[in-house]
Structure 1
Amino acid sequence: MTRVFPDGNYESWTQCRSLLPHVKIVLASRNDTDGDDRLNAATLSSNCGLFLDLQGAYEEAGSMHGWALKAREKVLGCEHPHTLISVIHLGNVLDSQGRYEEAEAMHRRALEGFEKVLGQEHPYTLSSVGNLGNVLDSQGKYEEAELLHRRALEGVEEVFGREHRNTLTSVSNLGNVLSRQGKYEEAESMHRRALEGSEKMLGREHPDTLTSVSSLGKVLSQQGRYEEAEAIHRRALEGLEEVLGQEHPHTLNSVGHLGLVLDNQGKYEEAEAMHRRDLEGSEKVLGREHPNTLTSANNLGLVLFKQGKYEEEEAMHRRALEVREKVLGREHPDTLTSVSNLGLVLDRHRKHEEAEAMQRRALEARERVLGYEHPETLITVDAVLSLSYFHQNHVPL
């Protein structure tokens, strides 16, 4: 079974699906194995975990990778490359589950181990650099993440060339963290490069290509190019629904992106429907406290605000803020977005002093975390000045 079960990549999904029930029966007795049989079971469990991870079945994938890691630690030792690969796989699943601190610890362990055993420029080391960059990006540690992604990209370009799949992944990762820092032009260039390469190497309907489509749409939207962004997001969503299904986390993420660009164009009813679909699906698939679910709640709150549905909107923003503070921390960029959004709600309810306090909290933290010239910082400056002007002049806004 270890010989015949594929590595879980997109091209092998049909075979993986047909073999998966048989694999689970085989793996049911894996705790009774030892030596080479234990290593075979670890490989099978790892490949199965990769497939399940790509399907969005994160809990089951994490169980598979956790077992493979323990088996390899026992037979091969903690610093063997195969053991460290299992560390990476488990770290990636933890990242997808929003368990960022645990994921970071895994990826730092893998990177340190690969640098020691294989050296700075080995492909496994460079992959580990990129994975650590991703989880730091998820935590809002953008400067450190950017440095890691630039290191990874430079390395994989040297090792694999400019058009290799690993290189394109690094290009996309760097584009993501540049986008989050407000470096939109450079981010757009990266995402266009990644998309062009993926279409050429993998095809238009490959999940990696569709992810690049979605990332490009997001950075176009951030630049106010909404019509172009909408067309891109509709392409991404249609493809992801076809390839991954209606309730895959990546599909739901694409639903949310389309909802945002519709909102920005004043298409509020369609945007609300998208955000409700995203939120309902994310709660079901990922849970109520997953960072993606909280983003969905926040986005729904925004479109409710624009439609004058203030009570439901305030409930959404308070929920997002409360859980983001708990899960991500008080100064994570997503938490500060919730702080600022709640300030807008309070202002609309004529609670101007409380609203100004929220916006000042968001501003002080954004200046510290994102910098003085980040677009979100500048937006918050305008909000604080507007509320301050109201207090000084006592006139309606």
Structure 2
Amino acid sequence: MTDDSFSRRSRTVQALGRIDETTRAVVPPIHVATTYIRDPDNAYSSGYVYGRPDNATIREAQDVLAMLEDAHGGAMLFGSGMAAATAVFRALDPGDHVVAPKVMYWALRHWLAGEATRWGLRIDFVATEDPDALRAAVIPGETKLVWVESPANPLWSVTDIAQAARIAHDAGARLAIDSTCASPVHTRPLTLGADIVMHAATKILNGHSDVVAGALAFATQDAFTDRVAMIRKGEGAILGPFEAYLLIRGMRTLHLRAERQAASALALATRLQAHPDVAQVLYPGLPDHPGHAIAARQMENGFGFMLSIRVRGGVEAAIATAAQVKLWKRATSLGGVESLIEHRASIEGEGTPCPDDLLRLSTGIEDAEDLFADLDRALRAAQG
């Protein structure tokens, strides 16, 4: 294993530097067994019993993520980002009060407004980037979880994580951060006071659009984390070993990809601000973004790979722009090495806070000049 004195970048590149003792391979093997031999005394000295709650390849990937997030309570991998996120809410008790953002990942917001309330949670959606609104929404002794997404998909509002942690903790609540669009390269919420970090590991952690996975990282191990682990075990929500292996492969290049993608996103956002067919650019790296000062304080190595543009001419022009691109790909998801464009309001449907003239852009690792030229041509063509 690599020495803790080395940087997180170096330890991630080497997947913590573990060497397979049998073959001396530098790449960790994939362990696919579902069951394990008992000892003669009926114990399991290997530490493995059955594949549903545990797996050696999954442990390897969890350890890399725990190191990246400074997660002293460890990390857990799930079969999807939704499985990871909902496990946190399922670990609460019916009747508990939860505060969540008005603007957040739409699938989770839809689940919270539907299944979570049917199950018995009380959910209030507020502008978590507004500390006064957040403070007013939290009920001391009743609020058990404050859920924040920063930057928040798809408008990229920024919440002050340290301040949100103080507000949550003063009320006796935990703070969980969806940090999917920041990644550990740009933000480490646990070091800012958060209790739980969630990642849709499908996105930039893996980075190659070939794995569906989710992850949780914890500041401490306690009864709540144990309950989350029991939910993962009981509901069979653990990630598969092959997907865990691919996730390890993806994380080994995370720093290179994330920093390149953030640099390209900033270059695109800056140039698109001056584009005659763009009404507004939403990106926390721009100095005039409402959350820029907070982002500059709690983000490092760039401001992330996601941005949105509002197209002059409204919904028709926005959809037409997406139809004209060649290098950008019209597809859902984000964080991969390929750049994606999406008319987000069409996906989210009725009730979305997303403006209908908005295009969400996930910046990949292609040449930034090519990305701008392709988008510039599409914008001009859409205007006729």
TM-score under structure 1 normalisation? 0.32
Structure with the higher strand share, 1 or 2: 2
**TM-score, normalised to structure 2's length?**
0.33
Q: Where is the helix percentage greater, Structure 1 or Structure 2? A: 1
The structure with the largest alpha-carbon Rg is 1
Higher relative contact order (CA 8 A, sep 6+): 2
